[in-house]
Amino acid sequence: MTAPITSGPAEPSVLLDLGGRTALVTGAAGGIGHACALRLAAAGAKVRAVDRDAEGLAALVERAGGLAGAVEARVLDLTDLDAAEAVAAGADILVNNAGLQLVRPIEEFPPDVFHTVLTVMLEAPFRLIRGALPHMYAQGWGRIVNISSVHGLRASAFKSAYVAAKHGLEGLSKTAALEGAPHGVTSVCVNPGYVRTPLVEKQIADQAAAHSLPEERVLTDVLLKDSAIKRLVEPDEVAEAVLYLCSPQAAFITGTSLALDGGWTAH
C-alpha cells in the first residue's frame, strides 16, 4: 500500500534548535533586538548582543540567565564601521536590527542625521555581513536576517532617511541572498508594521507636530491608518518569525521579505 501524501512537516516545527550556533544581534538593548536575543538564546544559541547602550545590554544579560543558550554583551557604536565588521567575525547567524528614526520634512531634515541613519541602518549592516561571510562560507551554512520595515516596501511622508535606508537594506539583503546561495547562506528581510517599542513611543510627539494632530490621535489616524489589524505588533511576535528564519527548517527561504504588517501592504 502506498503511503498517503501528507502536507504537514516531517518533524513538529516546535523543534527549532540553535544549539551550537553563535548569533549576533545588533540593537539588542532595544525592543525588537532584546526580544530576538532572548528568543534565540532560549533556542540554545550563544548570542553576541551588540548595542551602544551598556545599561540595556546588562539588563538583557540578566534576563537571559537560565536560558538554554547564553547572551554575551558587546558595547559598540555601529557608526564605527571597522569595529562593526570585526565584531561579526565567526557568527553563524546575523540579525541586523539596530536602528533610529527622525520624523521631519525633507527641507528641515538635518543632513548630519540623514548621514547617521544611513550609516547605522545600511552601511553597518553591509560591514557586518562582510565580516560574517568568511566564516559562514567556510562552513557552508549561515543565516542573515535584516530587520527592515513596512518602510522598506512603502514610503511615508517625513521619514526620508529611514525609508531610504530600509529600501537600501532590501537591496543589500537580496544581493547577499544571491551571493550566499551556493554557500548555504540565506538572507531575508523581516518587515514589521508599528511595533510596541521605545522607538515608536518616542515618535508619537514628532508625528503629532508633523501632522498637526493631538498626540492621542496619532495611533489611529497616522500609525495604524493603513493596517487592517488595528493594533501594534509585539516584539515577541517579530522575534518568533526571526527565530524561524534562523532555523535549519528555513533553508529555502532567501532573497525575500516577510511582512508582519497586519495587512498594511495588502492595500
Ligand X SMILES: NC(=O)c1ccc[n+]([C@@H]2O[C@H](COP(=O)([O-])OP(=O)(O)OC[C@H]3O[C@@H](n4cnc5c(N)ncnc54)[C@H](O)[C@@H]3O)[C@@H](O)[C@H]2O)c1
Give the shortest CB-39-to-ligand X separation in angstroms.
Answer: 13
For ligand X, the closer CB: 13 or 256: 256
Give the shortest CB-3-to-ligand X separation in angstroms.
Answer: 43
Q: How far apart are CA 73 and CA 90, in angstroms?
A: 16
Q: Which residues belong to the active site?
A: 162
Give the shortest CB-147-to-ligand X separation in angstroms.
Answer: 4
Contact footprint for ligand X (CB under 6 A):
27, 29-33, 51-53, 56, 77-79, 97-100, 120, 147, 149, 192, 194-195, 197-200
Q: How far apart are CA 58 and CA 252, in angstroms?
A: 35
Number of residue whose CB is nearest ligand X: 30
For ligand X, the closer CB: 118 or 253: 118
Neighbours of 115 (CB within 10 A): 13
For ligand X, the closer CB: 154 or 183: 154
For ligand X, the closer CB: 56 or 262: 56
Give the shortest CB-14-to-ligand X separation in angstroms.
Answer: 26
Burial of 234 (0-12, 13-18, 19+ CB in 10 A): middle
Sign of the C-alpha dihedral computed for residues 247, 19, 236 and 128 taken in this order: negative
